[in-house]
Structure 1
Amino acid sequence: MRRRGALFLLPALALPRPAPAQTPVPRGEFWFDPTQLPSFTGTVERYLLNPRGETDALIFREGPQIVFPPDVAEAVRQVAPQGRPLVVWGIRARTAPVITMLAFAPGSDATPTVVERFYWRLGGRLPEERATRLAVAGTVKQPYYAPQGEVAGAILEDGTVILVPQGMAEGMRDLLRPGAKLAAEGMGQEGEGGRALLASALGDQPGTLKPLPPPQR
């Protein structure tokens, strides 16, 4: 009888214990969990506009640029205002300190918010018809990178973004390097969030501007 009772208890002892409850991570439209990608933590130094007047990037105080779709800009800003930390999961370019955001959170212990789509292309940042003509000048803080890592322009010390026509940056590296003096004219937008333009003329001073070919659309 004792042996029979022991055998009767074995199945009950073998039952798996229920897993502890976990907060689900929203997956967006991805077929994978973006938070399995590398994470990057930094302090938001400033948000950046594109020539359409949209916020679609930020700079970490530690140096890297983070790019994201304009439609999540307000959510990112709410989570991490200027001067606050931010954790980003995403893809870092091979050749430059620029990261395409796929998820973000205010800290490693918070539930991440997943970005719904990749934000790869510079073409969608070209100025619209309602853009105005701007003239800017200042000192280059760092190059402005395409998500794939190519130099696509410059960011001035005051946060102004100067985008150059596709394929033109390679011959202008001296003007786009950190610490260089840079002046530009072109179509773009400015407001409380900053300034950004697509350069139609570029030089080291306002009086030395040289025209650039129009962008390929």
Structure 2
Amino acid sequence: MRTLLFSAVSFFVASTVAVAAPASKPAASASFAAHQTVTEKQATGLYDLSGLPQFTGKVAQFLPAPHGGVLGVVLTDGTQVLVSPDQGHTVAGLIKPGDTVSIQGLKACSLPLIRAFSLTSPRGRSMQDSFIVMPQQSPEMITGPDLVLHGDIWMPLYDLNGQVSGVILKDHTVIYLAPREATRLAAWLKAGQSIYAVGTGTSGELGIAIDAREIGPTAAQMVGVAVGNAPAPGPAPGSAGYDIIPGSE
């Protein structure tokens, strides 16, 4: 009887140990994740980008933003590689013109445009999109010196939505326009044509770029344009027509 009782207890203990043993593995994994440094977590990124198409190309120039930083790069074959605005500040420290870079992202169907989610330099350093959208300043909050740009157009400039948002000149300077203004002035924005523009912007080692306030095929033919996302011209606040919605009369 005592032998039977001892055998039953031994079987119960052995079974408990056998069942409980695998549970220690997830605990160890969770412990490792909990002790990862911030740098390690940022290096791996939040999302797995391995399924995205990969591209390579040689950098011809940065795409400087008109009020600081960069929005991406242009490759020597004319492909524009855009990153999210909150990641642009890392691009200039990661790569430089002349570098051959590796890109993971999505290519536009019919435009020379790649939306990059990861960039890797020839030195092995990488940038991965955090997918966090940072608030952008409105045009009214930005001031800067007036710059005058003129030269022959290399190509139209695109935004992340694939809309024409200005032009890149052959001397690598960049003129930004609101997409609706670029559509209105499309006849002036063709590759090879000369263009003049005046607006606020920046000039530095990353390049020259402006938000055009006036633009035209010659200095004598420039017209005024709405800057950035400013509302279209209309009745002044406080005037009789300010509170009237067009078409509702």
Q: TM-score, normalised by structure 2?
A: 0.66
Does 2:105 match 1:90?
A: yes
- Tell me which residue corresponds to 1:193: 206
Matching residue within 73, 81, 86 for 2:96: 81
CA deviation after TM superposition for structure 1 residue 129, in Å:
2.6
- The alignment status of 1:28 with 2:45, answered yes or no, reads yes
Q: 1:135-186 CA deviation, whole Å, 9 max, x = no partner?
A: 1101111110011211111001111111112311123222212111011111
1:136 and 2:149 are equivalent in the alignment = yes
CA contact 2:143–2:200 (8 Å) conserved in 1:
no
* Structure 2 contact 105–116 (Cα < 8 Å) conserved: yes
The gaps in structure 1 that reach 5 residues or longer are 1-23
Task: Give the SS at the match of 2:162.
Answer: coil
Secondary structure of 1:167's aligned partner: helix
| TM-score normalized with structure 1 length | 0.75
C-alpha distance in 1, partners of 2:139/2:103?
26
Amino acid at match of 2:82: V
Q: Mapping of 1:90-169 within 5 angstroms?
A: 90-106=105-121, 112-117=126-131, 126=139, 128-169=141-182
| 2:195 is the counterpart of 1:182 | yes
Give the structure with the higher percent strand: 1
Deviations 1:95-142 (A, max 9, x none): 4211111012135x9585422127799x76858533221111011111
Please state if 1:40 is matched with 2:51: no
Instruction: Identify if the C-alpha distance between structure 1 residues 63 and 124 changes in structure 2 by more than 3 Å, giving closer, same or farther.
Output: farther
**Change in 2 beyond 3 A, CA 1:127/1:27:** farther
Cα distance change, pair 38–127 in 1 and its aligned pair in 2 (3 A): farther
Q: Computing the radius of gyration over CA atoms, which structure comes out larger, 1 or 2?
A: 2
**Kept after mapping to 2: 8 A contact 1:25/1:113:** no
Aligned to 1:6: none
Tell me which amino acid in the other structure corresponds to 1:160. T
The structure whose RCO (Cα within 8 Å, separation 6+) is larger is 1
Deviation, structure 1 residue 213: 3.1
Contact residue 52 and residue 126 of structure 1 kept, 8 A:
no
Higher helix share: 2
The answer to whether the 8 A contact 1:134-1:185 is kept is yes
Instruction: Tell me the distance in 2 between the aligned counterparts of 1:41 and 1:146.
Output: 21
CA deviation after TM superposition for structure 1 residue 89, in Å: 0.5
Q: Which residue of 1 aligns with 2:64?
A: 49
- Structure 2: gaps spanning 5 or more residues: 1-40, 231-249
CA distance 1:195–1:71, change in 2 (3 Å) = same
AA at the equivalent of 1:190 = S
Query: Which amino acid is 1:55 matched to?
Result: V
Q: 1:58 aligns with which of 64, 73, 82?
A: 73
